[in-house]
Structure 1
Amino acid sequence: MVSLDDVAGMATELPGVVELERHGSRAWAVQGTTKRGGPKVFAWERAFSKADIRRYGAETPPDGPILAIRVADLHEKEAVLAANTGAFFTIPHFDGYAAVLVELDEVTEAALRDAILDGWLACAPPELADRYRAG
């Protein structure tokens, strides 16, 4: 089991990352990457809305902490979901959106660390990502 504090440690060890609050939940972003110079969120705590829960119907949704993580594009999303069955999943609300959901109670630390790095790489400015890869 991985906690949100573990997520924070993994995310904030990457260059330029700040933790912030978004919609009352924890999120991690790369500073200065939006068009206006603000932080671009690459991972965030994602509670299920009432609509999300209704879409599960008779099936029981995961009840532990859920993390959303950006991916580079929809092709990468499909690859991540295919390679990480179990802990990684999506919901209808995320259809057409380049992000995956992760059950923190089910994911391994190594798989989560890789996903967080990939999310960061998807949002980091190219020069910062290149420096990180070279370092």
Structure 2
Amino acid sequence: MTADRPARVEDVHELALALPHVTVVRGGRGNAVYQVGGRSFVFFRTPRPDAVDTRTGERLPDVIVFWVESEADKLALVQDPTTPFFTTPHFDGHDSVLVQAGRLGEITRQELAELVEDAWLAQASARRRAAWLAE
């Protein structure tokens, strides 16, 4: 498998599960929520009124949330017009970015792997971060 191919939804699941101490809980509609130490780092969001298709006004059914390390990291992703990442006012002050699953192919699998790993690092305990980074 080449790391530079377009990312897919299946890659999100595979990459998140490959990290240590990860559990998967299911949201109210069966959506996957990946956690480390009880803290979410990636989750598949159910349609919400704050994330809508600009053309149709319909709620986006395929939004994935990734935690990031800081507001600066968030801004670097959402303000870069070459990436599919976005945010909504609901996530103001929250260190996370959103992406539609249908747009994951606009980044590479390697870029997705870095995003998932960074999300895990942002939410893992200091002890778990240190142990994983030391490996």
Same fold (TM over 0.5): yes
Partner of 1:36: none
Q: How many aligned residue pairs are there?
A: 125
User: Segments of 4+ in structure 1 off by > 4 A?
Assistant: 56-64
Shift of 1:83: 4.7
Task: Give the Å deviation of 1:59.
Answer: 6.5
Q: Which runs of 5+ in 1 are unaligned?
A: 32-38
Q: CA RMSD in A?
A: 2.4
Q: Which residue type is aligned with residue 124 of structure 1?
A: A
Q: Which residue of 2 aligns with 1:2?
A: 8
Mapped pair 1:117 → 2:117:
yes
Q: Which stretch of structure 1 is more off in the superposition, 21-30 or 74-83?
A: 74-83
Look up the match of 2:134.
134
What is residue 27 of structure 2 aligned with on the other side?
Answer: 22
- Indicate conservation of the 8 Å contact 2:63/2:99, yes or no: yes
* Range moving further from structure 2, 77-86 or 21-30: 77-86
% identity of equivalent residues: 25
Question: Alignment partner of 1:18: what SS?
Answer: strand
For residues 59 and 51 of structure 2, the distance between their equivalents in structure 1, rounded to whole angstroms, comes to 11
Q: How far, CA to CA, are the matches of 2:59 and 2:11 in structure 1?
A: 19
| Structure-to-structure mapping, 1:52-71, within 5 angstroms | 52-53=51-52, 63=60, 65-71=62-68
Give unpaired runs (5+ residues) of structure 2.
1-6
Alignment TM-score, normalising by the size of structure 1: 0.78
Q: Secondary structure at the match of 2:102?
A: coil
Contact 1:43 1:70 in 2 (8 A): yes
In structure 1, what residue type is equivalent to 2:32?
R
Question: Given the two structures, how large is their TM-score scaled by the length of structure 2?
Answer: 0.78
Whichever residue aligns with residue 125 of structure 1, its letter is: S
In 2: Cα distance, 1:83 partner to 1:117 partner: 20
